[in-house]
Structure 1
Amino acid sequence: MISRLILPLLLIATVVLRPPAALAAELKLSAVALAPCAATDPGAQPGASCYVLTGTVENPGRRPVVDTDVYARILDSSGEPVLQNRTRVGSIGDVDPGSQPFALRLAVPTGTPGPFEVKSARARGFSAPVRSRAGDDEELLPLEQGVISSQPDPGPR
């Protein structure tokens, strides 16, 4: 008798007490470009060429989108993928409502024939955090903060 009561109560409790699901949100990217890093860039790695993927991300919603990842196919001059077996190129953290610039550093194997072509660029984030967080002021690594601050202001839209 008691076991018949406990099971339904446990099911109800798990439904009522569980945290809300983090829904995925697709964001639009525009003006996406891939350019070599500056010669003095501290993001350069041995055996790889440093490139910066820049553009504008637009969040049409009224709430921030968190833990946002950028996906793209980056092809070399022969049409081969530069980043083997992956389309995720990096994370841009939280995206507030509206349009804002983004920048990601990429390490491309030295000797990969350019010029490069960026295809199918998109961003996807969530309505609630899905990763552990270090702190509110640590969304971007110092290198990414430097890239964003060095980008020209796109001006009013």
Structure 2
Amino acid sequence: MIRVVLAPFLVALLLLVPGPAWAAELQVSQVSLEPCPAEDVGAQPELRRPSGASCYALRGTVLNPGRKPVVDTDVFALIVDSSGEPVLQNRTRVGSIGDVPPGSSSFALRLSVPAGTPGPLSFRSVKARGFSAPVRTRAGIDDELLPLEQALADE
């Protein structure tokens, strides 16, 4: 008797509780890796570089073929030096590009590469993966964008 009474209640509860966010693989194309522009605050001149790192910008286009935005999107890539050794040790996630609306969108990520890394640098296996619902704390309206992000927002 109790099962008969609880069954409709449990079904209703399952329909009301949202399911987990699904992950979406997005297509990445037109990828380039180049030193950050000199005017970018991350591109510190050689004499002012206390951290021993060089700034590079990974740019490209990401395609969301769906009809809904993909949120909290991360970009993954293997960045290698001239000898084929990984530049970012034990890490393929190179950054987050936030929300990707349906269609094609440009992105740019700033990468800090250890100074003295033998160039030229190259990349392999560039991918983007996001979710159907937020999985991170959302940035506020008053949060400032970095110059690299602002340049993309102004396009």
Aligned to 1:94: 99
> What letter corresponds to residue 23 of structure 1 in structure 2?
W
**Separation in structure 2 between the aligned mates of residue 63 and residue 122 of structure 1, nearest angstrom:** 19
Aligned to 1:82: 87
Match of residue 117, structure 1, among 109, 113, 122: 122
Aligned to 1:21: 20
Runs (4+) of structure 1 exceeding 6 A deviation are 4-10
Q: CA deviation at 1:29?
A: 0.5
Q: CA deviation at 1:17?
A: 3.6
Alpha carbons of 1:59 and 1:8: their partners in 2 closer, same or farther (altered >3 Å)?
same
* Contact 2:53/2:114 (8 A) holds in 1: yes
Q: CA deviation at 1:8?
A: 6.3
Given the two structures, how large is their TM-score scaled by the length of structure 2?
A: 0.82
Aligned to 2:145: 141
Could you report, residue by residue, the CA deviation over 1:72-130 in whole angstroms, capped at 9, with x for unpaired residues? 00010011000000100000000011111110000000000111111000100011111
Alpha carbons of 1:38 and 1:53: their partners in 2 closer, same or farther (altered >3 Å)?
same
Unaligned residue ranges in structure 1 (runs of 5+) = none
> What letter corresponds to residue 90 of structure 1 in structure 2?
G
User: Could you say what the CA RMSD is over the residues aligned between the two structures, in angstroms?
Assistant: 2.6
Alpha carbons of 1:36 and 1:117: their partners in 2 closer, same or farther (altered >3 Å)?
same
Alpha carbons of 1:9 and 1:57: their partners in 2 closer, same or farther (altered >3 Å)?
same
Alpha carbons of 1:137 and 1:8: their partners in 2 closer, same or farther (altered >3 Å)?
farther
**Separation in structure 2 between the aligned mates of residue 31 and residue 73 of structure 1, nearest angstrom:** 16
**Separation in structure 2 between the aligned mates of residue 128 and residue 83 of structure 1, nearest angstrom:** 29
Aligned to 1:48: 53
Aligned to 1:107: 112
Counting matched residue pairs gives 149
* Contact 2:54/2:112 (8 A) holds in 1: yes
Given the two structures, how large is their TM-score scaled by the length of structure 1?
A: 0.81
Aligned to 1:34: 33
Q: What SS does structure 1 have at the residue aligned with 2:27?
A: strand
Unaligned residue ranges in structure 2 (runs of 5+) = 44-48
